[in-house]
Amino acid sequence: MNFTGKYKFGSQENYEQFMKALGVPDDAIECGRKLKFDTEVVQNGNDFTWSQIYPCHTTTNKFIVGKESDFEILNCDKVKVTANLEGGKLLMNFPNYVYTAMIEGDKLVETSVCGQITLKRLHTKTA
């Protein structure tokens, strides 16, 4: 499965509960709730460039499937994570949550799981 494309933010479920589970302060949660971001992915085999484009900044992570890479996470910290592809899904184990991305039709579906809380984000492919 190829993830390459530009995706417009559509919706999210359990944002507040997920952020609270990560220990994000309430004021930051409120600010983040209003931010809608687009995603742009370039995949060339196992090489990825994954950008999240916010109104005020862009976060770009470059990684190779199966190799440990530096990732900028939600609070702008850098962590080392190994991305894996299994059954068409991109999987990453971050320090406090497990992230999965997959393509369903024209949607990029992202899920992040922290304990019993699952954050689900849907993006629609635009290009």
Residue spans of alpha helices (H) in 1-127: 15-21, 26-34
What residue ranges of the chain have pLDDT lower than 70? Answer: 75
List, in order of start, the domains of the chain with CATH numbers. Answer: 5-125 (2.40.128.20)
How far CA 108 is from CA of 30, 37, 100, 116, in Å, comes to 24, 13, 10, 22
pLDDT score for 75: 67
Q: Is pTM, for the whole model, over 0.85?
A: yes
pLDDT score for 73: 81
On whether the CB atoms of residues 92 and 81 are closer than 8 A, the answer is: yes
Could you report the per-residue pLDDT of 87-116, keeping only the tens digit for each? 999 999 998 999 999 999 999 999 999 999
pLDDT score for 44: 96
pLDDT score for 28: 86
Q: Report d(CA 42, CA 5) in Å as an integer.
A: 7
